[in-house]
Amino acid sequence: MELNYQFFQKNHPDISTDSIFNIEGVNVKVHQYYQRAYISDSGFIDARGVPFTGPAALVEVSTKNGQSAKGWIAPECASFAERYLTINSDTILRLLPAEPKYYGSDILLYTKSGITEQKHRIEVNSPLKVDGWFVYQYGYDNRAGADSMYSIFLAVYDPWLNAVYAGMLLILLGTILMSFNFFKSKNI
């Protein structure tokens, strides 16, 4: 049997313990919410301060049709697999993984040209430019989230970049000159 899961994309309410909200005809009551949880035999336990844990919520849902369900929902993290609650044959309720508000890396730069222990911060959309290289913050350990122990960088070397910009500038200049020439010939 193949299930077509409907993900609620229109609104993503913030949740906390004892919050109640409605998503497209499904009433949701949050009985417990842990921002940092660890899985146990009976569900989840509060794990504040424990690395590699993720959020979890004990929710109870009811629909207009009288269907109801109660259970834990949690996004996948380094400590446990994703948990979701099946509401009916084509609808599930899931807790989305947290998205970072900011991620960047403080690094020490060493190069063949002689730079040693130079401190830099590489952020998203703010690459490090050194010796013709652009070093971008590309990713991190998504499963570990805030507890990520490594960053992923993308290093790009493009010696022809200035030539490409010069070519684009010449094309723009040529287009402008051709436009003036076109209007000049129309007026004669």
Q: Residue 148: how many CA atoms within 13 Å on its side-chain side? A: 15
Q: Which of 126, 13, 26, 113 is nearest to 67 (CA)?
A: 26
Is the pLDDT reported for residue 7 higher than 80?
Answer: no
* Burial class of 144 by CB neighbour count within 10 A (0 to 12, 13 to 18, 19+): middle
- How much is the pLDDT for 127? 92
pLDDT for 12 beyond 80: no
- The CA angle 97-67-23, to the nearest 5 degrees, is 40
Give me the chain's average pLDDT, please. 84
Per-residue model confidence (pLDDT) at position 9:
45
pLDDT computed for residue 3 by the predictor = 35
